[in-house]
Amino acid sequence: MRGLNLLLVARRQTLLEELAGELATRHGITARPLALDLTREDAIGPLLAALDALDIGLLVNNAGAPSYHGHFSERPWHEVEATLAFNTRLQLRLIHHLLPALLHRGRGGVIQVSSITGHTPVPYMAEYAACKAYQLALGESLHFELRDQGVDMLVLSPGATRSERVSFGMEPDDVAGEALAALGRRPSLLPGRGNRWRAFRYRHLNSRRRALWRMGRFQRGRLRPPRG
């Protein structure tokens, strides 16, 4: 899958414009930057309008709130609500908005970016893991519904991936390459052999209760000292 023009959506306009220019030069495509803060409720209108003005063939649903590590009861409600809105409602709205056009065309695709945390309960990251599990269940269900209508749906569940905030894990190019190779072939993908083994070990070599206990003890050992 090469030569697709891009609509890039993120918060930081300067960096977005630089990336768009780099991609356009390197690949000979059109890359349009659209600077929007998708945590704001008033951002969805301009985003949907921009999508409607273009012939969108592939949605990479990658926007999401960062993970939180700590006691659920100590987290302010507005932060919990924002995580749920950003990691579930926004993703759902974009898929639901674009599907009619993709189905009418009879071809297209959606890559829903979830996380390895969606494959098992994760204490001290409770609402984040629950959102990722929702994305996984939604995407795999839609994969079945859409598979005979020309629209490919893939849930991508990466582990740690190198970025501005993460200094370890898989390289982004490797994650993206595995995702594009899997699109149209399977409902979901855990990129990287190590990630697949870890998920398999927790899900299939333990009872659900034992997997929860093991993950809980591991996460509890990483907790920061209590506030105050």
Would you list the domain boundaries of the chain? 55-221
Residue 188's φ and ψ, nearest 5 degrees, are -155, 160
Length of the chain in terms of residues written? 228
- pLDDT, one tens digit per residue, over 129-182 is 999 999 999 999 999 999 999 999 999 999 878 877 777 889 999 999 999 999
Q: What is the pTM of this model?
A: 0.90
Task: Domain 55-221: give its CATH code.
Answer: 3.40.50.720
Which residues are within 8 A (CB) of 55 and not within 5 positions of it... i.e. 6 or more apart?
none
DSSP string, 33-65: EEE--TTSGGGHHHHHHHHHTS---EEEE---P
